[in-house]
Amino acid sequence: MPYDSVALPGLFVVRAGARADVADIHACAREIAAARKSQGDRLVVMLILGEETAPPDEEVRRAQAACLPEIHGHASRVLVVIEGSGFMTAIKRSALTAIGLLARGRYAYEAHTSVEEALVTRPPPELRGEGRAAFAELRRRGFVRAPVG
């Protein structure tokens, strides 16, 4: 499966696969819209990029850019978890953090090192104290992976 996703109360989580394609991006945007419609409120959207996730090609980047307004229209906050360690992973997180700071109010992101950091250590206020429960459920469903190394 190219990606896995799950809707939890107030939260929509996507774990990217090894390589995304254009159909994945549009399907994921539809799932986020359906989850928001079902729950009524805007959601915290979390994207998990594992060490196995390759950078998107140009066609996928264009699809991502085209879907951003729709996705952000359904999101109260977007969390991006970039798993892994090492210099290149740190650079990716730093770049995403800089983009998030520059984009405040429009397509802003928060970069995190782990799902635990995003939901337990620095939980978004929109989850109203339910970050630990969401983390436990994601662990149960296999969305939380043990660090490599």
The answer to the question of residue 76 being in a domain is yes
* CA contacts within 13 A on the Cβ side of 102: 6
The answer to the question of residue 146 being in a domain is no
What secondary structure letter does DSSP report for 61?
Answer: H
CATH assignment of the domain containing 97 = 3.30.750
The answer to the question of residue 20 being in a domain is yes
What percentage of the chain exceeds 90 in pLDDT? Answer: 58
Q: Indicate whether 91 pLDDT > 80.
A: no
**pLDDT score, position 109:** 79
The amino acid present at 58, given as its one-letter code, is: E
Token couple for 11: 């939260």
| Residues in Cβ contact with 87 at an 8 Å cutoff, skipping those fewer than 6 apart | none
The answer to the question of residue 147 being in a domain is no
CA dihedral 78, 84, 90, 93 (to 10 degrees): -10
pLDDT in tens, 100-121: 565 566 666 788 989 999 999 9
Look up the pTM and report it: 0.89
The answer to the question of residue 121 being in a domain is yes
Report the candidate in 142, 137, 139 with the shortest Cα–Cα distance to residue 127. Answer: 137
Over residues 12-38, mean pLDDT: 95
Enumerate the β-bridge partners of residue 114.
Answer: none
